[in-house]
A and B are shown apart, each in its own frame.
Chain A
Amino acid sequence: MTHSDNPAKIEVRNLQKSFRAKHVLRGVDLTIKTGESLAVIGGSGTGKSVLIKNIIGLMEPDSGAIQIDGEDVIGMNPEDRERVTRKFGMLFQGAALFDSLSVWENVAFGLIQSQGMNRHAAREDALAAMVQVGLDTDIAERSPAELSGGMQKRAGLARAIATKPEILFFDEPTTGLDPIMGSVIDDLIVKSVRELGATALSITHDMASARRIADNIAMIYEGRIVWHGPVADIDHSGNEMLDQFIHGRSDGPIQLRVAG
Protein backbone atom coordinates (compact mmCIF):
# COMPACT_ATOMS: atom_id res chain seq x y z
CA MET A 1 0.00 0.00 0.00
CA THR A 2 1.39 3.42 -0.89
CA HIS A 3 0.80 6.54 1.16
CA SER A 4 3.16 8.85 -0.70
CA ASP A 5 0.37 11.26 -1.70
CA ASN A 6 -1.09 11.49 1.80
CA PRO A 7 -0.27 14.49 4.00
CA ALA A 8 2.33 14.03 6.73
CA LYS A 9 0.83 12.88 10.02
CA ILE A 10 4.08 13.01 11.99
CA GLU A 11 7.01 15.13 10.93
CA VAL A 12 10.30 15.14 12.83
CA ARG A 13 13.03 17.62 11.89
CA ASN A 14 16.63 17.68 13.14
CA LEU A 15 15.66 16.23 16.53
CA GLN A 16 18.45 16.27 19.08
CA LYS A 17 18.47 14.89 22.61
CA SER A 18 21.37 14.42 25.01
CA PHE A 19 21.67 13.04 28.51
CA ARG A 20 24.64 14.92 29.97
CA ALA A 21 27.58 14.06 27.69
CA LYS A 22 25.73 11.27 25.86
CA HIS A 23 24.21 12.41 22.55
CA VAL A 24 21.39 9.97 21.95
CA LEU A 25 19.58 11.71 19.07
CA ARG A 26 21.90 13.63 16.73
CA GLY A 27 19.50 15.18 14.25
CA VAL A 28 16.71 12.77 13.39
CA ASP A 29 14.58 13.59 10.32
CA LEU A 30 11.50 11.49 9.73
CA THR A 31 8.18 11.88 7.95
CA ILE A 32 5.28 9.51 8.49
CA LYS A 33 2.37 9.95 6.11
CA THR A 34 -1.26 9.58 7.14
CA GLY A 35 -2.22 5.90 7.10
CA GLU A 36 1.39 4.72 6.86
CA SER A 37 2.86 2.10 9.17
CA LEU A 38 6.53 2.81 9.83
CA ALA A 39 8.87 0.63 11.84
CA VAL A 40 12.02 2.18 13.24
CA ILE A 41 14.62 -0.55 13.63
CA GLY A 42 17.99 -0.44 15.30
CA GLY A 43 20.10 -2.06 17.97
CA SER A 44 19.87 -1.48 21.70
CA GLY A 45 20.93 2.00 22.80
CA THR A 46 20.66 3.56 19.33
CA GLY A 47 17.91 5.99 20.36
CA LYS A 48 14.70 4.24 19.27
CA SER A 49 12.92 4.58 22.62
CA VAL A 50 14.13 8.15 23.12
CA LEU A 51 12.77 9.05 19.67
CA ILE A 52 9.30 7.66 20.36
CA LYS A 53 9.20 9.23 23.86
CA ASN A 54 10.02 12.63 22.36
CA ILE A 55 7.26 12.30 19.79
CA ILE A 56 4.69 11.24 22.39
CA GLY A 57 5.71 14.03 24.76
CA LEU A 58 7.18 11.94 27.56
CA MET A 59 10.50 13.74 27.00
CA GLU A 60 11.40 17.22 25.80
CA PRO A 61 14.02 17.34 23.04
CA ASP A 62 17.01 19.68 23.28
CA SER A 63 16.34 21.06 19.80
CA GLY A 64 14.55 20.27 16.56
CA ALA A 65 10.89 20.20 15.62
CA ILE A 66 8.03 17.70 15.91
CA GLN A 67 4.77 18.29 14.07
CA ILE A 68 1.60 16.25 14.46
CA ASP A 69 -0.96 17.03 11.74
CA GLY A 70 1.06 20.13 10.93
CA GLU A 71 1.00 21.46 14.51
CA ASP A 72 4.26 22.11 16.32
CA VAL A 73 4.00 20.18 19.57
CA ILE A 74 7.24 21.21 21.26
CA GLY A 75 6.59 23.93 23.80
CA MET A 76 2.82 23.56 23.37
CA ASN A 77 0.71 24.57 26.41
CA PRO A 78 -0.57 21.62 28.50
CA GLU A 79 -4.19 21.92 27.28
CA ASP A 80 -3.19 21.79 23.60
CA ARG A 81 -0.69 19.02 24.31
CA GLU A 82 -3.46 17.00 25.95
CA ARG A 83 -5.67 17.58 22.89
CA VAL A 84 -2.92 16.21 20.65
CA THR A 85 -2.23 13.30 23.02
CA ARG A 86 -5.90 12.25 22.64
CA LYS A 87 -5.00 11.24 19.07
CA PHE A 88 -2.51 8.68 20.41
CA GLY A 89 -2.75 5.09 21.49
CA MET A 90 0.30 3.21 22.68
CA LEU A 91 1.27 -0.38 23.32
CA PHE A 92 4.20 -0.46 25.75
CA GLN A 93 6.97 -3.04 25.74
CA GLY A 94 5.82 -4.59 29.03
CA ALA A 95 2.15 -3.70 28.33
CA ALA A 96 2.24 -1.28 31.35
CA LEU A 97 -1.20 -2.32 32.56
CA PHE A 98 -2.30 -0.66 35.81
CA ASP A 99 -1.91 -3.20 38.65
CA SER A 100 -4.62 -1.63 40.78
CA LEU A 101 -7.32 -1.99 38.10
CA SER A 102 -9.03 -5.00 36.57
CA VAL A 103 -8.44 -5.91 32.92
CA TRP A 104 -11.62 -4.22 31.66
CA GLU A 105 -10.91 -1.10 33.74
CA ASN A 106 -7.47 -0.94 32.13
CA VAL A 107 -8.96 -1.23 28.65
CA ALA A 108 -11.68 1.32 29.46
CA PHE A 109 -9.28 3.76 31.15
CA GLY A 110 -8.92 6.15 28.21
CA LEU A 111 -12.64 6.03 27.49
CA ILE A 112 -13.51 7.03 31.07
CA GLN A 113 -10.71 9.47 31.88
CA SER A 114 -9.99 11.02 28.51
CA GLN A 115 -13.36 10.83 26.74
CA GLY A 116 -15.55 11.18 29.85
CA MET A 117 -17.64 8.11 29.04
CA ASN A 118 -19.71 6.65 31.92
CA ARG A 119 -18.44 3.39 33.40
CA HIS A 120 -21.28 1.23 32.09
CA ALA A 121 -20.88 2.33 28.45
CA ALA A 122 -17.08 2.25 28.76
CA ARG A 123 -17.27 -1.35 29.99
CA GLU A 124 -19.26 -2.37 26.93
CA ASP A 125 -16.73 -0.71 24.62
CA ALA A 126 -13.83 -2.25 26.56
CA LEU A 127 -15.31 -5.73 26.23
CA ALA A 128 -15.72 -5.15 22.46
CA ALA A 129 -12.06 -4.09 22.22
CA MET A 130 -11.04 -7.20 24.17
CA VAL A 131 -12.95 -9.42 21.72
CA GLN A 132 -11.29 -7.56 18.84
CA VAL A 133 -7.83 -8.60 20.08
CA GLY A 134 -8.91 -12.18 20.84
CA LEU A 135 -9.29 -11.89 24.61
CA ASP A 136 -12.01 -13.88 26.33
CA THR A 137 -14.38 -11.51 28.15
CA ASP A 138 -14.37 -13.98 31.10
CA ILE A 139 -11.05 -12.46 32.17
CA ALA A 140 -12.49 -8.92 32.30
CA GLU A 141 -12.62 -8.86 36.10
CA ARG A 142 -9.17 -10.39 36.60
CA SER A 143 -6.13 -8.44 37.70
CA PRO A 144 -3.38 -7.94 35.08
CA ALA A 145 -0.96 -9.93 37.28
CA GLU A 146 -3.07 -13.04 36.66
CA LEU A 147 -2.53 -12.87 32.88
CA SER A 148 0.27 -14.43 30.82
CA GLY A 149 2.70 -12.19 28.91
CA GLY A 150 0.84 -12.69 25.65
CA MET A 151 -2.52 -11.90 27.22
CA GLN A 152 -1.08 -8.79 28.85
CA LYS A 153 0.14 -7.63 25.43
CA ARG A 154 -3.34 -8.23 23.99
CA ALA A 155 -4.92 -6.30 26.86
CA GLY A 156 -2.40 -3.49 26.28
CA LEU A 157 -3.33 -3.48 22.59
CA ALA A 158 -7.04 -3.43 23.46
CA ARG A 159 -6.39 -0.41 25.73
CA ALA A 160 -4.44 1.31 22.93
CA ILE A 161 -7.21 0.88 20.33
CA ALA A 162 -10.24 1.32 22.62
CA THR A 163 -10.27 5.10 22.18
CA LYS A 164 -10.01 4.70 18.38
CA PRO A 165 -6.83 6.78 18.10
CA GLU A 166 -5.53 8.34 14.89
CA ILE A 167 -1.94 7.38 15.66
CA LEU A 168 -0.76 4.13 17.22
CA PHE A 169 2.67 3.66 18.77
CA PHE A 170 4.17 0.23 19.39
CA ASP A 171 7.23 -0.10 21.59
CA GLU A 172 8.96 -3.45 20.97
CA PRO A 173 5.60 -5.23 20.59
CA THR A 174 7.00 -8.76 20.37
CA THR A 175 9.81 -8.57 22.94
CA GLY A 176 9.52 -11.30 25.56
CA LEU A 177 7.04 -13.37 23.56
CA ASP A 178 7.57 -16.73 21.91
CA PRO A 179 7.70 -16.61 18.07
CA ILE A 180 4.14 -17.87 17.60
CA MET A 181 2.67 -15.40 20.09
CA GLY A 182 4.85 -12.69 18.54
CA SER A 183 3.34 -13.46 15.16
CA VAL A 184 -0.19 -13.41 16.62
CA ILE A 185 0.44 -9.99 18.18
CA ASP A 186 1.86 -8.70 14.88
CA ASP A 187 -1.25 -9.89 13.02
CA LEU A 188 -3.45 -8.17 15.60
CA ILE A 189 -1.44 -4.98 15.20
CA VAL A 190 -1.86 -5.05 11.41
CA LYS A 191 -5.59 -5.81 11.75
CA SER A 192 -6.13 -3.05 14.35
CA VAL A 193 -4.22 -0.43 12.38
CA ARG A 194 -6.17 -1.29 9.19
CA GLU A 195 -9.56 -1.31 10.92
CA LEU A 196 -8.91 2.06 12.55
CA GLY A 197 -7.29 3.52 9.46
CA ALA A 198 -4.60 4.75 11.83
CA THR A 199 -1.05 5.86 11.26
CA ALA A 200 1.41 3.60 13.10
CA LEU A 201 4.92 4.05 14.40
CA SER A 202 6.63 0.98 15.82
CA ILE A 203 10.10 0.58 17.24
CA THR A 204 11.60 -2.85 17.23
CA HIS A 205 14.77 -4.83 16.78
CA ASP A 206 12.80 -7.90 15.72
CA MET A 207 13.16 -7.99 11.91
CA ALA A 208 10.47 -10.64 11.42
CA SER A 209 8.03 -8.43 13.29
CA ALA A 210 9.10 -5.29 11.39
CA ARG A 211 8.53 -7.03 8.05
CA ARG A 212 5.05 -8.13 9.13
CA ILE A 213 3.73 -4.87 10.59
CA ALA A 214 5.34 -2.11 8.55
CA ASP A 215 4.86 -0.52 5.12
CA ASN A 216 8.14 1.34 5.49
CA ILE A 217 11.28 0.86 7.53
CA ALA A 218 13.67 3.44 8.97
CA MET A 219 16.93 2.33 10.50
CA ILE A 220 18.42 4.39 13.31
CA TYR A 221 22.09 4.16 14.22
CA GLU A 222 23.98 6.39 16.64
CA GLY A 223 21.06 8.82 16.85
CA ARG A 224 20.55 9.33 13.09
CA ILE A 225 18.31 7.73 10.47
CA VAL A 226 20.75 5.91 8.20
CA TRP A 227 18.20 4.31 5.85
CA HIS A 228 14.50 4.88 5.15
CA GLY A 229 12.45 3.09 2.52
CA PRO A 230 9.73 0.55 1.71
CA VAL A 231 9.85 -2.77 3.53
CA ALA A 232 10.13 -4.54 0.14
CA ASP A 233 13.47 -2.83 -0.49
CA ILE A 234 15.33 -3.79 2.67
CA ASP A 235 16.89 -6.94 1.21
CA HIS A 236 18.51 -5.03 -1.68
CA SER A 237 19.03 -1.62 -0.12
CA GLY A 238 22.76 -1.44 -0.77
CA ASN A 239 23.16 -0.01 2.73
CA GLU A 240 25.87 -1.91 4.60
CA MET A 241 24.56 -1.03 8.02
CA LEU A 242 21.04 -2.19 7.19
CA ASP A 243 22.43 -5.38 5.61
CA GLN A 244 24.49 -6.12 8.69
CA PHE A 245 21.55 -5.48 11.00
CA ILE A 246 18.92 -7.52 9.16
CA HIS A 247 21.29 -10.46 8.76
CA GLY A 248 22.57 -10.20 12.33
CA ARG A 249 26.24 -10.22 11.33
CA SER A 250 28.85 -9.28 13.92
CA ASP A 251 31.28 -7.94 11.28
CA GLY A 252 30.48 -4.78 9.38
CA PRO A 253 30.27 -1.03 9.87
CA ILE A 254 28.21 -1.37 13.09
CA GLN A 255 30.63 -2.01 15.91
CA LEU A 256 29.22 -3.10 19.25
CA ARG A 257 31.08 -1.69 22.22
CA VAL A 258 31.55 -4.54 24.67
CA ALA A 259 32.74 -3.49 28.12
CA GLY A 260 35.63 -5.27 29.70
Chain B
Amino acid sequence: MRPLRAIGRGTIAIFAVIGRISVFAGTSLYHCVRPPFFPRLILRQMIEIGFYSLPVVGLTAIFTGMVLALQSFSGFGFAGEATIANVVVWGITRELGPVLAGLMVAGRIGAAMAAEIGTMRVTEQIDALTTLSTNPFKYLVAPRLIAAVAMLPLLVLVADVIGVLGGFIVSVYDFGFNPTTYLKSTWASLDAAGFVSGLVKAAVFGFLVALMGTYHGYHSKGGAQGVGQATTNAVVSASILLLLFNFIITALFFAT
Protein backbone atom coordinates (compact mmCIF):
# COMPACT_ATOMS: atom_id res chain seq x y z
CA MET B 1 0.00 0.00 0.00
CA ARG B 2 2.90 2.34 0.65
CA PRO B 3 3.77 3.01 -3.02
CA LEU B 4 0.08 3.68 -3.76
CA ARG B 5 -0.12 6.03 -0.80
CA ALA B 6 2.97 7.87 -1.99
CA ILE B 7 1.56 8.18 -5.52
CA GLY B 8 -1.75 9.45 -4.12
CA ARG B 9 -0.04 11.96 -1.88
CA GLY B 10 2.16 13.17 -4.73
CA THR B 11 -0.84 13.53 -7.06
CA ILE B 12 -2.79 15.52 -4.48
CA ALA B 13 0.25 17.74 -3.87
CA ILE B 14 0.61 18.44 -7.61
CA PHE B 15 -3.06 19.37 -7.96
CA ALA B 16 -2.83 21.53 -4.84
CA VAL B 17 0.08 23.48 -6.39
CA ILE B 18 -1.78 23.83 -9.70
CA GLY B 19 -4.82 25.07 -7.78
CA ARG B 20 -2.80 27.60 -5.79
CA ILE B 21 -1.07 28.92 -8.92
CA SER B 22 -4.43 29.14 -10.75
CA VAL B 23 -6.01 31.13 -7.90
CA PHE B 24 -2.94 33.39 -7.76
CA ALA B 25 -3.07 33.90 -11.55
CA GLY B 26 -6.82 34.60 -11.46
CA THR B 27 -6.48 37.12 -8.62
CA SER B 28 -3.56 38.79 -10.40
CA LEU B 29 -5.44 39.07 -13.71
CA TYR B 30 -8.44 40.54 -11.88
CA HIS B 31 -6.20 43.27 -10.44
CA CYS B 32 -4.54 43.82 -13.86
CA VAL B 33 -7.84 44.97 -15.37
CA ARG B 34 -9.42 46.69 -12.37
CA PRO B 35 -8.42 50.27 -11.38
CA PRO B 36 -6.59 51.88 -9.72
CA PHE B 37 -3.53 51.24 -11.87
CA PHE B 38 0.03 52.23 -11.01
CA PRO B 39 1.47 53.71 -14.24
CA ARG B 40 4.78 54.72 -12.60
CA LEU B 41 5.34 51.18 -11.38
CA ILE B 42 4.34 49.67 -14.74
CA LEU B 43 6.75 52.02 -16.53
CA ARG B 44 9.55 51.18 -14.10
CA GLN B 45 8.99 47.47 -14.67
CA MET B 46 8.86 47.97 -18.44
CA ILE B 47 12.26 49.65 -18.34
CA GLU B 48 13.63 46.92 -16.07
CA ILE B 49 12.26 44.08 -18.20
CA GLY B 50 12.50 45.58 -21.68
CA PHE B 51 15.41 47.98 -21.74
CA TYR B 52 17.80 46.28 -19.34
CA SER B 53 17.22 42.83 -20.90
CA LEU B 54 18.16 44.10 -24.37
CA PRO B 55 21.92 43.35 -24.15
CA VAL B 56 21.52 39.76 -22.96
CA VAL B 57 18.69 39.01 -25.41
CA GLY B 58 20.55 40.72 -28.27
CA LEU B 59 23.78 38.79 -27.64
CA THR B 60 21.89 35.51 -27.37
CA ALA B 61 20.05 36.22 -30.61
CA ILE B 62 23.06 37.24 -32.69
CA PHE B 63 25.12 34.19 -31.71
CA THR B 64 22.15 31.89 -32.22
CA GLY B 65 21.53 33.32 -35.71
CA MET B 66 25.22 32.88 -36.58
CA VAL B 67 25.31 29.31 -35.29
CA LEU B 68 22.10 28.49 -37.13
CA ALA B 69 23.63 29.66 -40.41
CA LEU B 70 26.85 27.69 -39.73
CA GLN B 71 24.99 24.50 -38.80
CA SER B 72 22.67 24.77 -41.79
CA PHE B 73 25.60 25.22 -44.12
CA SER B 74 27.53 22.26 -42.70
CA GLY B 75 24.40 20.10 -42.30
CA PHE B 76 23.02 20.59 -45.79
CA GLY B 77 26.40 20.54 -47.53
CA PHE B 78 26.49 23.39 -49.99
CA ALA B 79 23.18 25.07 -49.85
CA GLY B 80 22.17 28.26 -51.57
CA GLU B 81 21.19 31.58 -50.06
CA ALA B 82 17.53 30.62 -50.09
CA THR B 83 17.97 27.51 -47.95
CA ILE B 84 20.20 29.12 -45.33
CA ALA B 85 18.04 32.25 -45.14
CA ASN B 86 14.93 30.10 -44.84
CA VAL B 87 16.34 28.02 -41.98
CA VAL B 88 17.59 31.10 -40.12
CA VAL B 89 14.33 33.04 -40.50
CA TRP B 90 12.08 30.13 -39.59
CA GLY B 91 14.31 28.97 -36.76
CA ILE B 92 14.65 32.42 -35.24
CA THR B 93 11.14 33.85 -35.66
CA ARG B 94 9.17 30.69 -34.87
CA GLU B 95 11.23 29.06 -32.12
CA LEU B 96 14.64 30.27 -31.06
CA GLY B 97 13.84 33.98 -30.80
CA PRO B 98 10.90 33.63 -28.38
CA VAL B 99 12.21 30.59 -26.50
CA LEU B 100 15.73 31.89 -25.91
CA ALA B 101 14.52 35.42 -25.10
CA GLY B 102 11.98 33.89 -22.72
CA LEU B 103 14.59 31.74 -21.00
CA MET B 104 17.01 34.67 -20.70
CA VAL B 105 14.29 36.87 -19.21
CA ALA B 106 13.25 34.03 -16.89
CA GLY B 107 16.83 33.89 -15.58
CA ARG B 108 17.23 37.63 -15.29
CA ILE B 109 13.81 39.01 -14.46
CA GLY B 110 11.98 36.02 -12.97
CA ALA B 111 14.78 35.56 -10.45
CA ALA B 112 14.89 39.29 -9.64
CA MET B 113 11.11 39.42 -9.12
CA ALA B 114 11.14 36.40 -6.82
CA ALA B 115 14.09 37.77 -4.83
CA GLU B 116 12.61 41.27 -4.46
CA ILE B 117 9.09 40.17 -3.54
CA GLY B 118 10.44 37.32 -1.40
CA THR B 119 12.57 39.75 0.58
CA MET B 120 9.54 42.01 0.98
CA ARG B 121 7.59 39.03 2.29
CA VAL B 122 10.15 37.93 4.90
CA THR B 123 10.79 41.49 6.09
CA GLU B 124 7.03 42.13 6.53
CA GLN B 125 6.96 44.80 3.80
CA ILE B 126 4.02 43.02 2.13
CA ASP B 127 2.14 43.04 5.46
CA ALA B 128 2.98 46.74 5.72
CA LEU B 129 1.38 47.33 2.31
CA THR B 130 -1.84 45.76 3.58
CA THR B 131 -1.88 47.88 6.73
CA LEU B 132 -1.47 50.93 4.48
CA SER B 133 -4.66 49.91 2.62
CA THR B 134 -2.75 48.91 -0.50
CA ASN B 135 -3.50 45.56 -2.10
CA PRO B 136 -0.18 43.74 -2.71
CA PHE B 137 -1.57 42.10 -5.85
CA LYS B 138 -2.41 45.48 -7.30
CA TYR B 139 0.83 47.15 -6.21
CA LEU B 140 3.39 44.37 -6.68
CA VAL B 141 2.02 41.66 -8.96
CA ALA B 142 -0.17 43.42 -11.54
CA PRO B 143 2.46 45.97 -12.72
CA ARG B 144 5.00 43.18 -13.25
CA LEU B 145 2.56 41.02 -15.20
CA ILE B 146 1.41 43.91 -17.40
CA ALA B 147 4.99 45.03 -18.07
CA ALA B 148 6.23 41.51 -18.86
CA VAL B 149 3.35 40.74 -21.25
CA ALA B 150 3.93 44.08 -23.02
CA MET B 151 7.73 43.93 -23.21
CA LEU B 152 8.46 40.31 -24.15
CA PRO B 153 6.98 40.65 -27.67
CA LEU B 154 9.09 43.78 -28.21
CA LEU B 155 12.20 41.97 -26.98
CA VAL B 156 11.45 39.05 -29.29
CA LEU B 157 10.95 41.46 -32.19
CA VAL B 158 14.43 42.82 -31.52
CA ALA B 159 15.78 39.27 -31.08
CA ASP B 160 14.27 38.28 -34.45
CA VAL B 161 15.98 41.17 -36.24
CA ILE B 162 19.35 40.62 -34.52
CA GLY B 163 19.19 36.83 -34.98
CA VAL B 164 18.52 37.18 -38.69
CA LEU B 165 21.36 39.72 -38.85
CA GLY B 166 23.66 37.10 -37.25
CA GLY B 167 22.77 34.63 -40.00
CA PHE B 168 23.33 37.36 -42.59
CA ILE B 169 26.80 38.20 -41.22
CA VAL B 170 28.00 34.58 -41.36
CA SER B 171 26.39 33.92 -44.73
CA VAL B 172 27.82 37.02 -46.39
CA TYR B 173 31.21 37.35 -44.69
CA ASP B 174 32.03 33.67 -44.12
CA PHE B 175 30.24 31.82 -46.92
CA GLY B 176 30.56 34.66 -49.39
CA PHE B 177 26.88 34.80 -50.33
CA ASN B 178 25.54 37.74 -52.25
CA PRO B 179 24.06 40.11 -49.66
CA THR B 180 21.23 41.33 -51.88
CA THR B 181 20.16 37.83 -52.85
CA TYR B 182 20.39 36.72 -49.22
CA LEU B 183 18.25 39.61 -48.03
CA LYS B 184 15.68 38.92 -50.76
CA SER B 185 15.59 35.25 -49.69
CA THR B 186 15.23 36.32 -46.06
CA TRP B 187 12.28 38.56 -46.91
CA ALA B 188 10.69 35.82 -49.00
CA SER B 189 11.08 33.32 -46.14
CA LEU B 190 9.14 35.46 -43.68
CA ASP B 191 5.65 34.10 -43.14
CA ALA B 192 2.95 35.84 -41.19
CA ALA B 193 1.88 32.78 -39.20
CA GLY B 194 5.42 32.01 -38.04
CA PHE B 195 6.10 35.63 -37.14
CA VAL B 196 2.79 36.12 -35.31
CA SER B 197 3.14 32.80 -33.47
CA GLY B 198 6.53 33.98 -32.20
CA LEU B 199 5.03 37.18 -30.81
CA VAL B 200 2.08 35.34 -29.24
CA LYS B 201 4.54 32.95 -27.62
CA ALA B 202 6.52 35.93 -26.33
CA ALA B 203 3.46 37.46 -24.65
CA VAL B 204 2.56 34.12 -23.05
CA PHE B 205 6.16 33.58 -21.93
CA GLY B 206 6.22 37.07 -20.42
CA PHE B 207 3.10 36.24 -18.45
CA LEU B 208 4.56 32.92 -17.27
CA VAL B 209 7.91 34.41 -16.21
CA ALA B 210 6.26 37.23 -14.25
CA LEU B 211 3.64 34.89 -12.77
CA MET B 212 6.25 32.42 -11.52
CA GLY B 213 8.55 35.17 -10.24
CA THR B 214 5.79 36.90 -8.28
CA TYR B 215 4.10 33.67 -7.13
CA HIS B 216 7.24 32.15 -5.65
CA GLY B 217 8.36 35.47 -4.17
CA TYR B 218 4.94 36.11 -2.64
CA HIS B 219 4.89 32.71 -0.96
CA SER B 220 8.50 32.61 0.20
CA LYS B 221 9.19 32.11 3.89
CA GLY B 222 11.98 31.41 6.30
CA GLY B 223 14.47 34.22 5.74
CA ALA B 224 17.39 34.29 3.32
CA GLN B 225 17.24 30.56 2.60
CA GLY B 226 13.54 30.79 1.75
CA VAL B 227 14.16 33.70 -0.61
CA GLY B 228 16.98 31.76 -2.31
CA GLN B 229 14.67 28.77 -2.71
CA ALA B 230 11.92 30.99 -4.13
CA THR B 231 14.36 32.42 -6.66
CA THR B 232 15.46 28.96 -7.82
CA ASN B 233 11.86 27.74 -8.00
CA ALA B 234 10.82 30.79 -10.00
CA VAL B 235 13.49 30.25 -12.68
CA VAL B 236 13.06 26.47 -12.90
CA SER B 237 9.26 26.51 -12.98
CA ALA B 238 9.12 29.40 -15.46
CA SER B 239 11.60 27.61 -17.76
CA ILE B 240 9.67 24.33 -17.69
CA LEU B 241 6.29 26.02 -18.19
CA LEU B 242 7.76 28.10 -20.97
CA LEU B 243 8.89 25.00 -22.88
CA LEU B 244 5.55 23.28 -22.24
CA PHE B 245 3.56 26.26 -23.53
CA ASN B 246 5.94 26.57 -26.47
CA PHE B 247 4.85 23.10 -27.55
CA ILE B 248 1.15 23.85 -26.94
CA ILE B 249 1.19 27.14 -28.89
CA THR B 250 3.20 25.59 -31.73
CA ALA B 251 0.68 22.74 -31.92
CA LEU B 252 -2.21 25.22 -31.95
CA PHE B 253 -0.70 27.29 -34.76
CA PHE B 254 0.85 24.65 -36.96
CA ALA B 255 -0.64 21.22 -36.23
CA THR B 256 -2.69 20.14 -39.23
Contact = CB atoms under 8 A, between A and B. Distances in A.
A85 B131 contact: yes
A114 B125 contact: no
Contacts of A78: 135
Interface in A171-225: none
B128 interface: yes
A90 B134 contact: no
Contacts of A98: 120, 125, 128
B124 A88 contact: no
Nearest to B134: A113
Interface string B111-128: 000001001100111011
Chain B interface size band reads 10 to 19
Contacts, number: 52
A58 interface: yes
B128 A90 contact: yes
B132 A56 contact: no
A26 interface: no
Contact of B130 (A57, A89, A93, A99): A57
B119 to A, nearest CB: 7
29 contacts: A53-B127, A56-B130, A57-B130, A58-B127, A58-B130, A58-B131, A78-B135, A82-B135, A85-B130, A85-B133, A86-B133, A90-B131, A92-B124, A92-B127, A92-B128, A94-B124, A97-B128, A98-B120, A98-B128, A99-B125, A100-B116, A109-B132, A109-B134, A110-B132, A113-B133, A113-B134, A114-B132, A159-B132, A169-B131
List the 7 shortest-distance A-B pairs measured between CB atoms, nearest first.
A114-B133, A96-B128, A96-B124, A90-B131, A110-B132, A113-B134, A92-B124
Interface of B: 116, 119-120, 123-125, 127-128, 130-135, 139
